[in-house]
Amino acid sequence: MYHLTQTAAPLTIQEAEYAIAPTVQFTQFTSCIGILSKIRGQDNLIGIHLVIHDQQDNKFNIVTAAQVRELLEIHNCDQSTTKIIGQIRVWRDSNEKAFERLVDLLDVPEERQYPLDDGSYGGTIEDGEIELTFG
């Protein structure tokens, strides 16, 4: 079963990890995507680093998509702020059903999906909004 773990290192969120802080940064994306969502009533956001296969070779699936939504609910995230960043094209090509379920469950329209190439990305809260960070 795919497992997400909270890390105490919000500036180096590795695959299948998440963190909560005013600024979060994911380790290098090659085939990964990240979820960013603002915590209601705080100047914090959650960053979740998703990989198609975790370290135990469990594949991200529709059940995992529901776990991501539950994680956002547990942490009182404002779903209207949720963004998906990273290798969206790779996920659509290789894991379409699970990716589309994730998009539906998180209610993330196209304008809050940011397809990006390989790289290191993250987010920060600026003036109460999530701003993407690069590098």
3-state SS class at 36: strand
- Residues 91-118 have pLDDT tens digits of 999 999 999 999 999 999 999 999 999 9
Domain boundaries, the chain: 5-123
> Is this model's pTM higher than 0.95 or not?
yes
Kindly state the DSSP code that residue 58 receives in the 8-state scheme.
Answer: P
**86: β partners:** 33, 115
- Residues 40-86 have pLDDT tens digits of 999 999 999 999 999 999 999 999 999 999 999 999 999 999 999 99
How far is Cα 101 from Cα 27, in angstroms, rounded to an integer? 24
Averaged pLDDT for residues 13-35: 97
